[in-house]
Amino acid sequence: MNKPQSRSLAIPFAVCCAAVLLFALMDAAMKGLSLSIGLFNALFWRALAGTVLGLALMLPGGHRWPDRAVLRLHLLRGVVVTLMASLFFFALMRMPLAEAIALSFIAPLIALYLAALLLGERISRRAIGASLLGLVGVAVILSGRMQGSYDAQALLGSVAVLLSAMLFAWNLIIQRQQAQLASPVEVAFFQHLVMFILFGLCALAAWLVPDLVPLRLDLPRLGSWLLVAACAGLAFTSLAAFAWAYARAEAQNLIPVEYTAFIWAAVIGWLAFGERMTLPTLAGAGLIVAGCLIALRSTPVPQMHE
């Protein structure tokens, strides 16, 4: 029987932090996969693997088909995430992982105000301050990067990240609405299903009109299949974790956690791709962590229904 329960912010906060880490690992795996077999191939096969995984978890759990209102949310978020992911991974192929993540941090700040506009959430001064502090940290990181020079491809990647960030802000708000109406497994399954259908339609269009739609859909080799499976597993798990956390805490309390993605991206980018960390990077990361700690001490989470 469902009943309202008072929950500490610490548990959803910790789960959201873990979800961000899993997503950072997935981003790195997707960067390697995209460079290996191409962006479209990587996105298509990851969506297929995630759909199969979700179906395997949905069927034994006896999940019912969602009603029309919930299904509309699933479809809307699926379309938004498809565009968002395409732009973001396009950028990852052209710039360092940590830098792409840093540029994307404009999204949580936009999402704070979207939460107030679309969800009726009241934005506390502490939540605004935490996000602004994190944004200052991002500015410090970018100031160090801007002392260098951008080539045309990196500049194109930067534009793609900023467009993706705008979609990501909208995605965060839909995620909050979706998490209160559907289970974490259902949320993750439908997101992968919509992505698979959309990328499948792109593949069909490329096959029917090859001169107008220059896309290729090739079967990955064994090593790439392992990366596809890893990407799907990491994406599915992180999506489910995000859904669980956002069902139990307001968006304004969890959005600043997104800033920790830069820390993970810097470490993973250095280990996996040899991407160098600089002093501005470390200074900005410190400010980002400070912002998250402030967010952790924000107002208590309201009572929610499981």
Tens of pLDDT, residue by residue over 99-127, are 888 878 777 667 777 777 776 777 777 77
- Tell me, yes or no, whether 242 lies in a domain: yes
- Tell me, yes or no, whether 114 lies in a domain: yes
- Tell me, yes or no, whether 211 lies in a domain: yes
**11 pLDDT more than 80:** yes
Tens of pLDDT, residue by residue over 44-91, are 999 999 999 988 888 886 778 888 889 999 999 999 999 999 999 999
Whole-angstrom distance, CA of residue 49 vs CA of residue 205: 21
- Tell me, yes or no, whether 102 lies in a domain: yes
**2 pLDDT more than 60:** no
**301 pLDDT more than 50:** no
- Tell me, yes or no, whether 302 lies in a domain: no
Return the C-alpha torsion angle 303, 72, 108, 54, nearest 10. 80
- Tell me, yes or no, whether 268 lies in a domain: yes
Domain that holds residue 156: 24-296
Number of domains in the chain: 1
Whole-angstrom distance, CA of residue 160 vs CA of residue 209: 26
Return the C-alpha torsion angle 193, 194, 199, 204, nearest 10. 90
Lowest mean pLDDT across 35-44, 118-127, 144-153: 144-153
Q: Name the residue among 100, 101, 140, 79 with its Cα closest to residue 286.
A: 140
- Tell me, yes or no, whether 81 lies in a domain: yes
- Tell me, yes or no, whether 304 lies in a domain: no
